[in-house]
Amino acid sequence: MFSGLIIEAAYFLAALLFIYGLKRMASPVTARSGIVVAGWGMVLAVAAAFLYGLDVNERAEPRLVVNFVLVIVALALGIGWAWRSGKKVAMTDMPQMVALYNGMGGGAAAAIAATELFSGNAQAHGLVVTVLAVLGGLIGSVALSGSLVAWAKLDGRMNGTIRLPAQQIINAGLFFAALAIGAAIVAAGLAGGGVPMLLIALFFVVALVLGVMLTTPIGGADMPVVISLYNAFTGLAVAFEGFVLQNPAMIIAGTVVGSAGTLLTLMMAKAMNRPVSNVIFSQFGETGDGDDSEIEGSMKSAEASDAAIAMYYASKVIIVPGYGLAVAQAQHKLYEFVKLLQKQGVDVRFAIHPVAGRMPGHMNVLLAEAGVPYDIIYDLEDINEEFTLADVAIVLGANDVVNPAARTKKSSPIYGMPILNVDYAQQAYVVKRGQGKGYSGVENELFYAENTSMVYGDAQKVMAQMIEAVKSLG
């Protein structure tokens, strides 16, 4: 019915759209259009898969007879749910949504592996296909259950961390058990006697439990890296299952997502000055007592109006956004205040830490939603030296990423993590609801510094007060 050349051309074009879309996502200026381009690539890939199924059915190959009614129903349900949830999700909940969608990608790869293994299709195509199906099933299952735990932590449905005695030994045992069962599945398939369904089911159960056990001990401070890591896992699993199904679009898309996720994970870990293995196997990020050694100095409070006037008459102001800004949904008020400062001639810049917020790029997306121009938003390495030239630095809802203890206190859990040098500014203001600690459980030395004043209150209300104070000046 359909020419194989047309189908292959559609897959090739879809792959080009994936790659081009990802390239455009590398810049905040073109990221939105990049998402649209990659989305059209996915539409084309799905259409090509339909054409492939119709073409195979035309040749009456029973292995790939497709129930198109069920496929269309599944697509309709998926599109409807994603559209509705995407439209209503708050910016503060975006990290949870990313974790959830990422888990669904890993689950889809695991489902493909399960289907191919239970049906015997993978075993019928030989050693390589069977091994890739097993590996994709393992990685996808870990990504699914691990991402669901990350979602539960970020959404407040799972508080704190859960660590068992000999946690790492248990995890290692689960991992090697999954490998052993996977090897047994491959061996049984090659022997030609069929693979017991109970063995395949046990394999996926062990893999899912492994994902849960790997993620529950990891604390909130490490969630951005965990989300990025599971994104890489999902891409790898999809690529493996693409080989199993002989689907070029899945292979290329999975490879691109896997490599991008791996690079992002390494960059995030580097930004925290920690290896990825340390994120997975250590206890950093646990919400607990942290380092409770005494800090010299005391916290000094200031009124929002005083901080606003100080910034209004400053030459250079650097703003450090954090998760508290997202929780308060204060980004629009913040940008309204920034425009008032700019109208006065103040040089205003935003400083973004790589692990600020709850996911990679969270603060960039938050500021973009408010319409903040990209050319005044700077990454840590591009702006850190400018804090010494700033008359005022203001922190809105950030904590660990501005804590000077990371530079000096070797006993601190965050020691060695690069931070934004807010304490080097002439005057620092910290907008915060209370005197709580960050995810690492460490007291923030910045709050006690001689040049720091605390502005207590919800960020949106504080920004409204600052706007009124500046407007009253003239």
DSSP string, 113-141: HHHHHHHTHHHHT-HHHHHHHHHHHHHHH
Residue 196 lies in a domain: yes
pLDDT at 7 over 50: yes
End-to-end CA distance of the chain: 74
Residue carrying the six token digits 């849960």: 212
Sorting pLDDT into bands at 50, 70 and 90, what band is 435?
low
CA distance 411 to 355: 21
Domain end marker among 231, 249, 281: 281
Most confident of 8-22, 122-136, 163-177, 454-468: 454-468
In this structure, the answer to whether residues 17 and 63 fall within a common structural domain is yes
Total count of domains within the chain: 2
CA distance 5 to 347: 57
Residues contacting residue 135 through CB under 8 Å, at least 6 positions apart: 182, 237, 240
Can you give the residue range of the structural domain that contains 209? 4-281
Q: For 221-248, what is the mean pLDDT?
A: 87
Looking at residue 51, what is its pLDDT? 74
In this structure, the answer to whether residues 31 and 139 fall within a common structural domain is yes
CA distance 41 to 470: 48
Looking at residue 179, what is its pLDDT? 95
In this structure, the answer to whether residues 270 and 313 fall within a common structural domain is no
Sorting pLDDT into bands at 50, 70 and 90, what band is 286?
very low
In this structure, the answer to whether residues 188 and 267 fall within a common structural domain is yes
> What percent of the chain shows pLDDT beyond 70?
88
pTM over 0.85: no
Looking at residue 346, what is its pLDDT? 95
Count of Cβ atoms closer than 10 Å to residue 466 Cβ: 29
In this structure, the answer to whether residues 393 and 438 fall within a common structural domain is yes
CA distance 287 to 442: 9
Copy the structure tokens of residue 421.
Answer: 């040098």
Is 142 or 362 the better-scoring residue by pLDDT?
A: 142
CATH of the domain at 328: 3.40.50.1220
Residue 286 lies in a domain: no
Sequence letter at residue 437: K
In this structure, the answer to whether residues 323 and 269 fall within a common structural domain is no
Most confident of 63-72, 277-286, 388-397: 388-397
Looking at residue 372, what is its pLDDT? 92
Looking at residue 387, what is its pLDDT? 95
Residue whose C-alpha is closest to residue 138's, from 168, 107, 101: 107
Residue 298 lies in a domain: no
In this structure, the answer to whether residues 255 and 312 fall within a common structural domain is no
Residue 151 lies in a domain: yes
Contact 453, 430 (CB under 8 A): yes
In Å, how far are 85, 113, 154 from 93, measured between CA atoms?
A: 11, 31, 8
Q: For 401-425, what is the mean pLDDT?
A: 86
Q: Which residues pair with 456 in a beta bridge?
A: 432
Please state, rounded to an integer, the average pLDDT across all residues of the chain. 84
Domain end marker among 281, 313, 346: 281
Q: Would you name the residues annotated as active-site residues?
A: 400
Residue carrying the six token digits 């970020």: 154
Taking only Cα atoms into account, the Rg of the chain, rounded to an integer number of angstroms, comes to 25
Sorting pLDDT into bands at 50, 70 and 90, what band is 284?
very low
pLDDT in tens, 335-388: 999 999 999 999 999 999 988 877 777 888 889 888 899 889 999 989 999 999
Looking at residue 2, what is its pLDDT? 53
Sorting pLDDT into bands at 50, 70 and 90, what band is 3?
low
Looking at residue 221, what is its pLDDT? 64
In this structure, the answer to whether residues 168 and 55 fall within a common structural domain is yes
Q: For helices 68-88 and 94-119, what crossing angle results, to 10°?
A: 170
In this structure, the answer to whether residues 158 and 203 fall within a common structural domain is yes
Q: For 164-170, what is the mean pLDDT?
A: 83
pLDDT at 191 over 80: no
Copy the structure tokens of residue 448.
Answer: 């006690």
In this structure, the answer to whether residues 264 and 342 fall within a common structural domain is no
339 φ, ψ (degrees, to nearest 5) = -65, -35
pLDDT at 228 over 70: yes
pLDDT in tens, 49-95: 777 666 655 544 444 455 677 778 888 888 888 888 888 877 667 77
Residue 290 lies in a domain: no
Residues contacting residue 262 through CB under 8 Å, at least 6 positions apart: 232
Looking at residue 287, what is its pLDDT? 44
* Lowest-pLDDT range of 212-216, 250-254, 435-439: 435-439
In Å, how far are 315, 321, 333, 460 from 318, measured between CA atoms?
A: 10, 10, 16, 18
Residue 167 lies in a domain: yes
pLDDT in tens, 264-275: 888 877 777 777
Residue 287 lies in a domain: no
Residue 257 lies in a domain: yes
Contact 463, 334 (CB under 8 A): yes
Question: How many helices, marked H, and strands, marked E, lie in the chain?
Answer: 18, 6
Name the strands in the sheet holding 427-432, side by side, starting at the edge strand that comes first in the sequence.
377-379, 347-352, 316-321, 392-396, 427-432, 452-456
Looking at residue 474, what is its pLDDT? 67
In this structure, the answer to whether residues 68 and 167 fall within a common structural domain is yes
In this structure, the answer to whether residues 319 and 277 fall within a common structural domain is no
Q: For 289-305, what is the mean pLDDT?
A: 73
